[in-house]
């Protein structure tokens, strides 16, 4: 069969994929490999193309160009098989209002020829034992999302696709979802693709981060290498007593690249080994007769990285 190929560690391979809707070029030539057991975050603002990419992996959108291989198979001719290997949770799914939690799980179990035992396991896993007999319509937003996640996990999927699973949830409900996923990470070899615009979510759950914007991958890599943690690089944010109007002229000979926001009158500099390098930075400022009003340093976040790449924040 020419549509089957062997690749042991790569679970999903996306090769040169394009997708357009009318005037919008939603996905513009994406290449991506996802390995077994890897938790991958597709991070980007609304309209970045994350959902379209996931929908193509999920098989409900066809790429205009390029190929998608899942466990050595393509969707064409393998739909039934792939449906058994993938679990997914959409941005928002409303299940049948007047069906109880256990009945909803029983219904979806029947699609995978699973028995009642598996439904009970899932109810325990998602912590809805007390709500087992509740109608879906009476569940809170967080409980519904946990049910959706439980349904996605019914078939013990090799690949789990979660499209913004915690959007609109309060912090506690979000953490409940995270703890289920972190437990899954420990206990199974499931690969996860998670789309989100919460950097905290991506940082908490995933080891591999793909930053997307305007249908393209801007940067990808293991979380620590993306954030340069191995160099112990910190982000120093500072403000000055003086108003700076021509930052390029003033900071052109700085020992570290300084990114100055004229509107906020706030400077950012990435500094390695900050404890050792900070005195030289302060010295530099005093030679320029600039007085520091406020200064703090912190670990670089994905939002900082995204801002550096696009000039915008993730939640814009």
Partner 1 sequence: MSRPIKFEQLGQLIIAYSKELIREPGVLFWGIVFPILMSLGLGIAFTKKQDIERHVAIVNTSDSENKKILNFLSNNGEIISGDNGEDTYKIILQDENMGNTTLYFEPMSWENAMAQLKKGTLGIIVEEKEGYKIYHFDPSNTDAQLTYMKISAVFNSRVLQSARNDVVKPLTLRGTRYIDFLIPGLIAMNVMTSCLWGLGYGVIDKRSKKLMRRMVATPMKKSHFLFSLITVRFTMNLLESGLLFLFAWLVFGVIIQGSIFALIIVFLAGNLAFSGLAVFIASRTANTEIGNGLINAIVIPMMVLSGIFFSYYNFPEWSIPYIQKLPLTLLTDGIRGIFIEGGGMSAILIPSILMVTFGTIFFLFGLRIFKWY
Show the tokens assigned to 290: 């600039």
Q: What angle do CA 87, 88, 94 make, to 5 degrees?
A: 130
Strands (E), 65-176: 65-70, 86-89, 159-163
Q: Does 88 bind partner 1 (CB under 8 A)?
A: yes
Q: Does 108 bind partner 1 (CB under 8 A)?
A: yes
Give the interface segment with partner 1, choosing from 38-46, 67-75, 86-94, 117-125 (CB under 8 A): 86-94
Q: Does 32 bind partner 1 (CB under 8 A)?
A: no
Q: Does 21 bind partner 1 (CB under 8 A)?
A: no
Biggest distance spanned by C-alpha atoms of the chain? 75
Touching partner 1, residues 234-263 (CB under 8 A):
none
| Out of 58, 164, 213, 237, the residue judged to bind partner 1 by CB under 8 A | 58
| Out of 6, 76, 80, 186, the residue judged to bind partner 1 by CB under 8 A | 80
Q: Does 86 bind partner 1 (CB under 8 A)?
A: yes
CB 298 within 8 A of CB 234: yes
Per-residue contact flags (x/-) with partner 1 for residues 145 to 164, judged by CB under 8 A: ---x--x---x---------
**Is the four-CA dihedral 155, 178, 93, 69 of positive or negative sign?**
negative
Rounded to whole angstroms, how far apart are CA atoms 305 and 272?
Answer: 16
Show the tokens assigned to 131: 């709500």
Q: Does 273 bind partner 1 (CB under 8 A)?
A: no
Q: Does 97 bind partner 1 (CB under 8 A)?
A: yes
| Out of 22, 23, 94, 172, the residue judged to bind partner 1 by CB under 8 A | 94
Strand order in the sheet with 159-163: 86-89, 159-163, 191-196, 39-43, 208-213, 216-222
Comparing CA positions, the residue from 228, 217, 182, 186 lying closest to residue 201 is 182
CB 127 within 8 A of CB 176: yes
Q: Does 92 bind partner 1 (CB under 8 A)?
A: yes
| Out of 24, 60, 257, 273, the residue judged to bind partner 1 by CB under 8 A | 60
What is the nearest approach in angstroms of partner 1 to the Cβ of residue 237?
42
Rounded to whole angstroms, how far apart are CA atoms 285 and 267?
Answer: 12
Q: Does 75 bind partner 1 (CB under 8 A)?
A: no
Where on the chain is the footprint of partner 1 (CB under 8 A)? 58-60, 80, 83-84, 86, 88, 90, 92-99, 103-104, 106-113, 135, 148, 151, 155
């Amino acid at each position: 069969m020419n549509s089957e190929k062997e690749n042991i560690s790569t679970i999903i391979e996306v090769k040169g994929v394009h997708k357009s809707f009318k005037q919008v070029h939603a996905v513009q030539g994406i290449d991506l490999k996802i390995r077994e057991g890897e938790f991958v975050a597709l991070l980007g603002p609304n309209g970045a193309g994350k959902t379209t990419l996931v929908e193509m992996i999920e098989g409900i959108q066809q790429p205009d160009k390029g190929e998608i291989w899942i466990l050595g198979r393509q969707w064409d001719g393998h739909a039934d098989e792939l449906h058994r290997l993938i679990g997914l949770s959409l941005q928002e799914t409303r299940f049948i209002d007047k069906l109880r939690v256990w009945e909803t799980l029983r219904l979806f179990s029947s699609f995978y020829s699973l028995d009642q035992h598996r439904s009970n396991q899932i109810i325990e896993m998602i912590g809805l034992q007390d709500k087992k007999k509740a109608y879906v319509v009476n569940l809170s937003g967080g409980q519904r999302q946990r049910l959706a996640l439980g349904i996605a996990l019914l078939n013990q999927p090799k690949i789990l696709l979660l499209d913004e699973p915690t959007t609109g949830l309060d912090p506690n409900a979000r953490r409940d979802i995270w703890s289920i996923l972190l437990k899954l990470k420990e206990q199974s070899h499931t690969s996860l693709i998670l789309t989100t615009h919460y950097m905290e979510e991506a940082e908490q759950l995933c080891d591999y981060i793909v930053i997307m914007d305007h249908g393209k991958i801007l940067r990808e890599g293991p979380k620590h290498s993306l954030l340069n943690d191995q160099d112990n690089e910190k982000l120093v944010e500072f403000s000055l007593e003086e108003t700076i109007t021509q930052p390029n002229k003033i900071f052109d000979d700085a020992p570290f690249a300084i990114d100055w926001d004229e509107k906020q009158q706030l400077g950012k500099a990435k500094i390695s080994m900050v404890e050792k390098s900070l005195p030289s930075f302060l010295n530099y400022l005093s030679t320029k007769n600039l007085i520091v009003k406020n200064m703090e340093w912190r670990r670089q976040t994905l939002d900082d990285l995204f801002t550096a790449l696009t000039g915008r924040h993730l939640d814009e």
